[in-house]
């Protein structure tokens, strides 16, 4: 999943560097090498502070290497960037990270955002909220 901004971004040179710069991180992510993806996306954060993909996939990578605190930081930044396409996915993974960090009220709040929306994650988020209430 990529935004239109990423596909068309033009840096200081004649072409876009964002896509080529993200390639090692995306390749690692696709190979389920989340430790490498975490390192690669982390290195891109200062260079591309408005690229939602960098923070979203970096956050998910951190979640998969069992670092929910750092995942939350990255996913909060992805949320601040405010891309509507990524919003339900960001909220879903942030809910997972919040739950893993032991912050159930924050997890519920993120799930509620997704549950109220119309994305493909909505029904799963509603179900997860019900299960959290039962705990």
pLDDT, tens digit, for every residue of 65-95? 999 999 999 999 999 998 888 999 999 999 9
**The token pair that represents 5 in the structure block:** 């901004």
Q: Is 83 helix (H, G, I), strand (E, B) or coil?
A: coil
Let me know: does 8 contact 16? Beta carbons within 8 Å: yes
pLDDT tens for residues 31-72?
A: 999 999 999 999 999 999 999 999 999 999 999 999 999 999
pLDDT tens for residues 3-29?
A: 555 555 555 554 468 888 999 999 999
Domain residue limits at 50: 17-134
Report the predicted TM-score, pTM, of the whole model to 2 decimal places.
Answer: 0.85
Asked if the structure places residue 34 within a domain, the reply is: yes
Q: Which residue has the tokens 């390749």?
A: 27
Asked if the structure places residue 120 within a domain, the reply is: yes
Query: Domain tally for the chain?
Result: 1
Contacts (Cβ under 8 Å, ≥6 apart) of 75? 55, 56, 59, 90, 93, 94, 97
């Amino acid at each position: 999943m990529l935004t239109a901004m990423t596909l068309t971004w033009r840096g200081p040179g004649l072409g876009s560097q964002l896509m080529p710069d993200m390639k090692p991180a995306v390749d690692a992510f696709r190979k389920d090498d989340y430790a490498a993806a975490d390192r690669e996306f982390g290195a891109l954060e200062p260079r591309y502070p408005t690229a939602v993909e960098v923070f979203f996939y970096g956050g998910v990578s951190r979640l998969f290497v069992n670092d929910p605190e750092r995942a939350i930081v990255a996913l909060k930044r992805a949320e601040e960037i405010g891309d509507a396409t990524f919003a339900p996915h960001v909220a879903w993974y942030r809910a997972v990270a919040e739950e893993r960090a032991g912050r159930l009220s924050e997890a519920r709040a993120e799930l509620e955002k997704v549950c109220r929306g119309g994305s493909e994650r909505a029904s799963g988020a509603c179900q997860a909220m019900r299960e959290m209430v039962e705990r």
